[in-house]
């Protein structure tokens, strides 16, 4: 897979990777994983609310 980033985003990603002591690819990997998890949580929450569930399972609460 190949991605292109705007120059300002590339610079920010470089700085963040240096600050965290990790690679840019690892940061991108983590961001994608978090996005997918957030989206799956959203779908589960929406489904629960559409089915009339008034209390949410603790598994949907992330700190």
pLDDT at 15: 98
Report which of residues 48 and 63 the model is more confident about: 48
> Is residue 17 situated within a structural domain?
no
Q: Answer yes or no: pTM beyond 0.75.
A: no
> Is residue 7 situated within a structural domain?
no
> 52 is in which domain, residue-wise?
23-63
> Is residue 41 situated within a structural domain?
yes
> Is residue 58 situated within a structural domain?
yes
Q: Give the integer Cα–Cα distance in Å for 49 and 55.
A: 9
Report which of residues 50 and 13 the model is more confident about: 13
Number of residues assigned to the chain = 63
Q: Using the 8-state DSSP alphabet, how is residue 55 labeled? A: S
pLDDT at 30: 97
Total domains present in the chain: 1
Q: Give the integer Cα–Cα distance in Å for 40 and 59.
A: 12
């Amino acid at each position: 897979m190949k991605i292109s980033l705007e120059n300002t985003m590339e610079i920010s990603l470089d700085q963040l990777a240096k600050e965290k002591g990790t690679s840019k690819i690892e940061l991108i990997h983590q961001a994608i994983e978090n996005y997918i998890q957030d989206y799956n949580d959203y779908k589960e929450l929406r489904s629960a609310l559409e089915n009339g569930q008034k209390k949410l399972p603790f598994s949907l609460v992330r700190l």
